Structures are given as structure tokens and as C-alpha cells.
């Protein structure tokens, strides 16, 4: 029996995933968590075969949580679930150690198929995301022509997400272990890369991305 641990801050979604897996042969849900803190406390206790991980938790930066989790339990396989476009997020989470990426709202068959591929030792991504990542590894044009959100470094991406969660420079610096001046420098680079006029526009853009997963062309 394959044990699965679910991490998502929405109880209805956790219940839905539990119900889905109860109907699938070979899966058993061994635990669940609604915050990153709970996940880091509980997953090492039950050592599941697979973690279904929401990257948008209220108390955690998604990439940092993924890295922390794999540092505690390097043998655990993680499949990321997210509302955010995989073109922006999939490559980052694979680099951080996740074994796959599925958009929330994907058909049941797609999610279960991704879970089974991850458990078989494969990477579970859409054809488009796989092509994008392979293009980057081979030095292809798609990787070299990144713009906007795709052009942000992982650290800039983390700062951007925390801006969207309402953090100021001091709070973001404390969470990421960097100075507020470094945070301000990242904010400037983010604004330049996204073509945003000022800090207020950056805040609106970041909040919209965090809350809806949308990343409109900033023009």
C-alpha cells in the first residue's frame, strides 16, 4: 500500500483528495496538514511514500518549504499541486527537488497518472513543461528568451511571493534570512523585469498572482 500525505490549506480540497484516493486501489492517506509548519512537524513522523504539496500556504514560502521538507526527508517523493501556471513554476520546483507538478483543477485521471509516474521514479510534467525545461538544459532559444515572471531568479520569485502576501522589507528579510536593503534591491530588480512603474503597482501585481494565480502582461 502506498502512503500519501496531503498538504493544503483548504480543508475542502484535502477532503476531496482523500475521497479521490479512497477510490483508487493501492493508495492510503496517512496524514494531512494545512500549514507548512504542520507539514514539517508531521511528515517526518509518518514518512509517507508520496507528498501532495500545495505551494501556496499562508505561513510558508513554497520553494523554501519544499527544500526544507526534502532536507528532513530526502527519500520522500513530492508532487506539487498549484493554481499557478506551470510555465512559471514547474522548472523551479523540479530544480528544488519535486518529482512532478500538476495544476489544481486537472482531471482526476491526470492527477492519479502523475502520482503513479512519480512513484515509478519518473518526473511527472505536461509535454509543454517538459519541452520548456529540456530546452533550457540544452541551451535552447526558449530558455534564453525568458521574459517577465519567467526571468525572475528563485530568490526574486520568493521575494515576489512574499510581497503578494503583504510582507514589508523587514518581514521578508527576516523570513528569508537577508537584510531589508537586499530585499529592496530585489524589489527594484523585480519591478524592472516585470515592467512595473512603482512599488504600488508591484504590490497589486503580486497580490493578484498570489490570490488567483494570474500573471497578466504588465506591459
Burial of 146 per CB tally in 10 Å (0-12, 13-18, 19+): middle
Identify which has the larger pLDDT, 129 or 168.
Answer: 168
Query: Which pTM value belongs to this model?
Result: 0.76
Distance CA 20, CA 62 (A): 24
pLDDT score recorded for residue 141: 46
pLDDT digits (tens, 9 = 90+) for 31-84: 999 999 999 999 999 999 999 999 888 888 788 899 999 999 999 999 999 887
Least confident of 4-13, 18-27, 179-188, 208-217: 208-217
Distances 74 to 144, 172, 175 between C-alpha atoms, Å: 31, 27, 23
Q: What are phi and psi of 199, to 5 degrees?
A: -65, -35
* Domains, the chain, with CATH or none: 2-136 (3.40.50.2300), 146-212 (1.10.10.10)
Q: Which residue has the higher pLDDT, 166 or 127?
A: 166
Q: Is residue 189 predicted with pLDDT exceeding 70?
A: yes
42, 90, 208 from 146: Cα distances, Å: 38, 14, 21
Amino acid at each position: 500500500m502506498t502512503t500519501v500525505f496531503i498538504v493544503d490549506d483548504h480543508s475542502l480540497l484535502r477532503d476531496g483528495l482523500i475521497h479521490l484516493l479512497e477510490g483508487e486501489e493501492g493508495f492510503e492517506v496517512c496524514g494531512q496538514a494545512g500549514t507548512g509548519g504542520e507539514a514539517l512537524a508531521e511528515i517526518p513522523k509518518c514518512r509517507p511514500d508520496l507528498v501532495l504539496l500545495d505551494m501556496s500556504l499562508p505561513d510558508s514560502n513554497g520553494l523554501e518549504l519544499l527544500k526544507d521538507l526534502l532536507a528532513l526527508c530526502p527519500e520522500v517523493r513530492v508532487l506539487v499541486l498549484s493554481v499557478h501556471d506551470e510555465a512559471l513554476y514547474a522548472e523551479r520546483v523540479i530544480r528544488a527537488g519535486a518529482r512532478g507538478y500538476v495544476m489544481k483543477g486537472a482531471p482526476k485521471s491526470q492527477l492519479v497518472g502523475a502520482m503513479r509516474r512519480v512513484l515509478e521514479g519518473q518526473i511527472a510534467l505536461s509535454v509543454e513543461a517538459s519541452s520548456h525545461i529540456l530546452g533550457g538544459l540544452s541551451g535552447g532559444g526558449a530558455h534564453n528568451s525568458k521574459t517577465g515572471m519567467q526571468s525572475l531568479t528563485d530568490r526574486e520569485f520568493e521575494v515576489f511571493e512574499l510581497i503578494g502576501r503583504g510582507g514589508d522589507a523587514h518581514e521578508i528579510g527576516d523570513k528569508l534570512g537577508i537584510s531589508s536593503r537586499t530585499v529592496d534591491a530585489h524589489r527594484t530588480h523585480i519591478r524592472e523585469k516585470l515592467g512595473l512603474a512603482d512599488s504600488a503597482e508591484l504590490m497589486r501585481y503580486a497580490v493578484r498572482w498570489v490570490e488567483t494565480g494570474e500573471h497578466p502582461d504588465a506591459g
